[in-house]
Amino acid sequence: MATADADVDAEVPRAASSPVEPPLPPLDEIVAALTEYRWLARTYVIEYHVERLAERLPPAWQAALAATPLPEVTRRLLSGDDEGLAAWPDSLRAYAVACRRLALDRRPRGFHGAPPCELDRALLSGLSDKKRHEIERLVPVVAHVVRAARATLVVDIGSGVGHLARTLAYLVGVDVVGIEGNPAYVAGAVERDAKCAALLAGRARAGDAAAAALLARRRATRHLAHFVRTDTDGAAFEALVRRALDLRPGAPTPPLVIVGLHTCGDLGPTLLRLFAEQPFVRGVVSVACCYMHMTEDSDDEFVAPPPAGRLGYPLSRAVADRLPDAHLGWKLREMACHALDAYEARARVAPA
């Protein structure tokens, strides 16, 4: 997430032990590792047997890995302690060190000490446990960014049936526009907004103070059916927002924060680009996913020719210049979606 304004609102709760984001690994080291281990990174886990992937490893690695219990292999590749690494050949040890050094820290942490919010049952309707978990953690983050950016509008792009947009309108105190490419989802979002408001109104009439407080705090939610293409520029995006808000000519476009929960493929990069290019986009909160659906100018067998518009990857010139001929490719981007923790857990219970 990012804000265009570094001046963070003093109201935002910050625990004394507010966690500090660890610095990202240097790009040059990532490029060097991607180049050196490309042959390994481009293998695809479900082809393990048919492609006999284990046999493609250097013979010294095969012998060392065969002699190491699976949970221990994972521990050596992922954990910070060096115990046991000495038993591996130099080249495998160097690979393990690169993995540890360049992997992002996936330990869960709070955001500036803000606890997850608790959703009223009217906002829980239709939410899976997973979506609830995500929204309860994302809302305080968006609230923080909105305040830090002094924004008065949130635009949720790829808003689906509007769970996040609806929750933000009730809990963050800003107007919300949801932009969604699938018109059926937009209709679903409008319907669910109405149902939620009716539920709360009924409870408020029956004397439920929490429901009345939510209704009193609620801001407007508008939904627009529109597919945001990778070549949507700032002017087109601004026109879209103005249309959703029904702003008259001459009325200023409100300073806004873009959010996206599960911004599949190219949508994530598009959100970041709109933030980087447009001054009225004061902040961005994007939880990206499905990296394999990003367009890349690649000769990879799985990648269709890029459509008209801009590429999803690489997004930055710094990366494009350093990796001129090194496409990531479908397999590597797909692997980036897998949860390392899930593999680690499976390795822990694997038979010796």
**Residues in touch with ligand SAM (CB under 6 A):** 131, 157-160, 163-164, 179-182, 185, 227-228, 261-262, 264, 267
Q: Whose Cβ is closer to ligand SAM: residue 4's or residue 155's?
A: 155
Task: Kindly write down the DSSP assignment for every residue of 47-84, as one continuous string.
Answer: GTTTTTGGGGS-HHHHHHHHTS-HHHHHHHHHSS--TT
CB of 216 to ligand SAM, least distance (A): 26
Q: Whose Cβ is closer to ligand SAM: residue 42's or residue 262's?
A: 262
Q: Is 342 helix (H, G, I), strand (E, B) or coil?
A: helix
**Tokens 């103070």 map to which residue?**
209
Report DSSP state, residue 6: -
Q: Whose Cβ is closer to ligand SAM: residue 151's or residue 259's?
A: 259
CB of 330 to ligand SAM, least distance (A): 18
Burial of 146-183, coded b for 16+ CB within 10 Å and e otherwise, reads bbbbebebbbbbbbbbbbbbbbbbbbbebbbbbbbbee
Burial of 113 (0-12, 13-18, 19+ CB in 10 A): middle
CB of 64 to ligand SAM, least distance (A): 40
Q: Whose Cβ is closer to ligand SAM: residue 180's or residue 193's?
A: 180
CB of 312 to ligand SAM, least distance (A): 10
Q: Is 351 helix (H, G, I), strand (E, B) or coil?
A: coil
Burial of 215-230, coded b for 16+ CB within 10 Å and e otherwise, reads beebbebbbbebebbb
CB of 97 to ligand SAM, least distance (A): 36
Q: Whose Cβ is closer to ligand SAM: residue 17's or residue 128's?
A: 128
CB of 104 to ligand SAM, least distance (A): 21
Q: Whose Cβ is closer to ligand SAM: residue 112's or residue 131's?
A: 131
